[in-house]
Structure formats: structure tokens, C-alpha cells
């Protein structure tokens, strides 16, 4: 709360005396959310080279539901069965000793989901969306010949989302932003003109702090 007050005081646009006000906004609302853990113990990635130097670097992208795999079917009142396959893309980067350059390979892991979610009854004009968020990590990695074998763990959060109008409390509109700083590269000669005069000659013995 103190941060918001300082911000409004800085820009002289705070409502007095800092009272919250009701506002209607259009936004996504999460009606249900659950998480699960998934693990791929031995994902094999083929390498284009055998002479590898250094560590294997693995970078994960955001997981997503594979097109055409989402199926939602009623289970009981206000609940539904949701089935889909989600994919987590990743890149593996290794250093090729022969070519003396890094090599990057793109790949992915997939997991099926079959879960029960809260999906309340709604007018036919209202639509829900199933969205996911993932956090992935490398549990283990080893190089065997021209292959990298990865153990990959994934936390996946499944959400039932609908676009609604909500009544919330606010301080009003946000304060005006700062003015952008225009990028202007400095001229090399201008930088040189501001440099101090360097030493032209080497140090003498008496300039050194010799014990």
C-alpha cells in the first residue's frame, strides 16, 4: 500500500484521501485450476556430432495444448472431463570440438492429460477456455555416443478461464508513464575528446612504493 501511495504522490494524481473506488473491468477469470507433475525419464536427443566439449545446455519453452487434441465432455452437473495432449518444446546446445562452434537441436516432449475440472453451467453465448502453464527442468542428463539422454520433469497447471466483467477496487487510472529515453549512439571521436591525457612515459623507481 505504501508503494502505491508514494507512486501517486510522485505524480500528483492520487485521489484524496487515497480511497479505493469500485471499477468494472473486462478480464479473464479463472474458474478452476489444478496442477500435476509429469516426468520423462529418458528422452533421447540425437546429436549431429560425436566430438562434444563442455556441458549440455537445455532451454525449455512454454508448454501448449497440441491442436486437435482437446476434448471436453460433460461429466456431471458443473463438472467436465478434459482430455488433451500438451507439448513442451526445448533446445539442446552442445559445442562441436571439430567444427569449433555450438550446435543447437530443437525437440519436444509430449504428455497426455485426462482430468476432471469444474466447468459451471453457463449461457450458450458464454465460452470457457482451457489454458495451461508449464515449468520444466532437467532432472538428469548424460551423453552416450552421439546422443543426449535427458530426464525431464514438468509442472503443468491447467486452468478453466472465461472472459467476464468484474467489479474491483482501484485507485483510478494509472499515473502517466515516464518519458522514453531516445537511443543516440555516441560518436567515437566525441568519446575520445573527453578522455584524459594518458601517461607518456614509464614509472620511475621512486614512484613505486617499494618496502
Of residues 88 and 180, more confidently modeled: 88
Residue whose grid cell is 545446455: 57
d(CA 152, CA 88): 10
pTM over 0.85: no
* Torsion sign across C-alpha atoms 92, 93, 96, 101: positive
pLDDT band of residue 172 (cuts 50, 70, 90) is confident
pLDDT band of residue 62 (cuts 50, 70, 90) is very high
d(CA 1, CA 172): 14
Q: What is the mean pLDDT of residues 165-193?
A: 80
The pLDDT value recorded for residue 145 is 81
3-state SS, 128-153, equals EEEEEEEEEEEEEEEEECCEEEEEEE
The pLDDT value recorded for residue 117 is 94
Q: What is the mean pLDDT of residues 8-28?
A: 72
| Whole-number average pLDDT of the chain | 85
pLDDT band of residue 195 (cuts 50, 70, 90) is confident
The pLDDT value recorded for residue 135 is 95
pLDDT band of residue 182 (cuts 50, 70, 90) is low
The pLDDT value recorded for residue 191 is 79
The pLDDT value recorded for residue 5 is 54
The pLDDT value recorded for residue 10 is 56
d(CA 186, CA 19): 47
Say yes or no to pLDDT of 196 above 80: yes
Amino acid at each position: 500500500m505504501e508503494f502505491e501511495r508514494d507512486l501517486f504522490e510522485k505524480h500528483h494524481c492520487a485521489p484524496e484521501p487515497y480511497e479505493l473506488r469500485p471499477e468494472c473491468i473486462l478480464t479473464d477469470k479463472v474458474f478452476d485450476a489444478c496442477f500435476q507433475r509429469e516426468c520423462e525419464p529418458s528422452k533421447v536427443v540425437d546429436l549431429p556430432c560425436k566430438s562434444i566439449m563442455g556441458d549440455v545446455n537445455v532451454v525449455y519453452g512454454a508448454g501448449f495444448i497440441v491442436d486437435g487434441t482437446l476434448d471436453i465432455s460433460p461429466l456431471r452437473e458443473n463438472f467436465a472431463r478434459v482430455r488433451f495432449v500438451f507439448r513442451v518444446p526445448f533446445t539442446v546446445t552442445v559445442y562441436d570440438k571439430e567444427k569449433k562452434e555450438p550446435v543447437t537441436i530443437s525437440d519436444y516432449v509430449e504428455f497426455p492429460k485426462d482430468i476432471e475440472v469444474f466447468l459451471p453451467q453457463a449461457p450458450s453465448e458464454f465460452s470457457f477456455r482451457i489454458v495451461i502453464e508449464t515449468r520444466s527442468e532437467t532432472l538428469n542428463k548424460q551423453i552416450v555416443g552421439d546422443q543426449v539422454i535427458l530426464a525431464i520433469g514438468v509442472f503443468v497447471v491447467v486452468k478453466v478461464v472465461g472472459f467476464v466483467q468484474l467489479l474491483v477496487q482501484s485507485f483510478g487510472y494509472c499515473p502517466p508513464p515516464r518519458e522514453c529515453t531516445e537511443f543516440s549512439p555516441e560518436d567515437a571521436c566525441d568519446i575520445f575528446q573527453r578522455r584524459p591525457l594518458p601517461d607518456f612515459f614509464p614509472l620511475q623507481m621512486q614512484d613505486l612504493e617499494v618496502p
